[in-house]
Structure 1
Amino acid sequence: MIAYRSSLRERELLGLKDLSASELDSILLRAAYWESHTEKRAPILEDRFIANMFFENSTRTRFSFEMAQKRLGTQVLNFAAAASSMEKGESIYDTVRTLESMGIDAGVIRLKPIGVLEELAKHVRVPLINAGDGNNEHPTQALLDVYTMRKQFGEIRGLTVSIIGDVKHSRVARSNLWALRTLGATVKFCAPDSMRAPELEAYAPYVTMEEALNADVVMMLRAQLERHGEGILKSKSEYRAQYGLTVDRAKTMKSHAIIMHPAPVNRDVEIDGDLVEAPNSKIFSQMSNGVPIRMAVVERALR
């Protein structure tokens, strides 16, 4: 059973960096409960209202949260910045405070600016759940990734996980780093020089592509080529040649190793299309696991 918290700050989920192993484990265990739940809906939160506040585009995360919320019976309000008073100049803060004033019990929020979410949380009186915060954190994505690994290997402690690609701009890489280290895994990064986050090197070394493939989990990140304008990063074919998970490279992986990717996937750029649904790929399993993870996180926030 998940440990339900009475404190507002203990029910929100802004990131994983400061969560303990027991808190992470509690969420993972509750997700396993919801995954094993035979009925599609378990309306235990019918009297609760939750707002999905996406100030940045999203497909998988937004629909996964909405599916989780509706399975729990919550009353869901979906906010889209393009159809709101933000078009008239309203600030993110005023938008969130407006929804809070209308009586929501929790909010799921995705933002581009870094640091805004943490400031918002100081001023609102409902728990907030981070659905992607600039290139800072994406906690529920990392939770579903860790959940996928634990289902595959039984436990996280002792695993070696390589995260390959645009680490610099990746909130997924950061949240996975914090969660995996807390649970006892070894994390390695592999990235072109311009895609490295030097501040993370104290926690995970940057290694060659060859060494990165010698891992239990090979996690490819989306090649965010639109953020780069020079050299190798200007060419998809050259990026694939040097940092892509090709069919030939995949043959050098350990026999028990799995392939992961937070999606959206650029097929034949950071990963060959033939590998996306290969037997050792867990990419679509990750997406499926997002629903029970987010059920556990939403329940944690509202009970």
Structure 2
Amino acid sequence: MFTGSIVALVTPMTTEGAVDFEALKRLVEWHIQEGTQGIVAMGTTGESATLETDEHVAVVQAVCDAAAGRVQVIAGNGGSATHRVVALTKALDELPIDGYLTATPAYNKPTQEGLIAHFKAVAAATAKPILLYNVPGRTAVDMKPQTVATLSELPNIVGIKEATGDLARLADLQALVAEDFVLLSGDDATCRAFMAAGGHGIISVTVNVAPKAMREMCDAALRGDAMAALKRDLPIQGLHRSLFIESNPTPAKWALKRLGLLATDTLRLPLVPLTAAGQASVEADLKKAGLI
């Protein structure tokens, strides 16, 4: 259902901090031409935490319009309060999206029982497919494999973006969920190994700046050609690190501006522009990747 190279898309902004819908349209078209297989709109990398609900819905709508059915569109709908996530899901549900990426609630640190109750409520608000999103480094809560297995029994919870970077976690999940449960990496640095061990793809930050290389690497990894996957991954391994040298999506937006794909690298507070040291690191890795 969801597989291969999927971008966690940035949200372009004007110098004044408004969503730049024309730039967003251009990015979507570029990704389609470069071979990206899916787009997550309004995930963490899209700065969903700092956009208002009407902006959030408008960005997802704009991505759907630009994609025009040529590539899968997954809407981020995470949040810390279950009732707000349910309301957002209902607001998004009339759009022509292919599914949702729902992160574990941040800050309030629910128990595993709380996570189950949260995701059951979200799943009841839509008939569309839902990908769970486990990212403890952002949310301060780790959704354990047994919790994932319990939630996988719900008909529209179809997979997970697992962003711990712990490859042992993949094996734990594989032992507990059905074969058709989608297992996606959320960690660029380990995604090649994740797919080699049976994962189905990645929702990626690196795809923002190196979509062709990531598609080729994923294709090779998923067909079991380890040497071809390694050859394609080696030049972009630096980007897997430097795009997280400061808070995501700060380096990715700067890189897109450096590549001429965005006019600005504007972020919304509390995120601030990439430091000079960060710029030097990203610049060096863009050169190593052959992108500049």
TM-score surpassing 0.5? Answer: no
The higher relative CO (CA closer than 8 Å, separation ≥ 6) is in 1
TM-score normalised by length of structure 2: 0.33
After TM superposition, the score normalised by the length of structure 1 is: 0.33
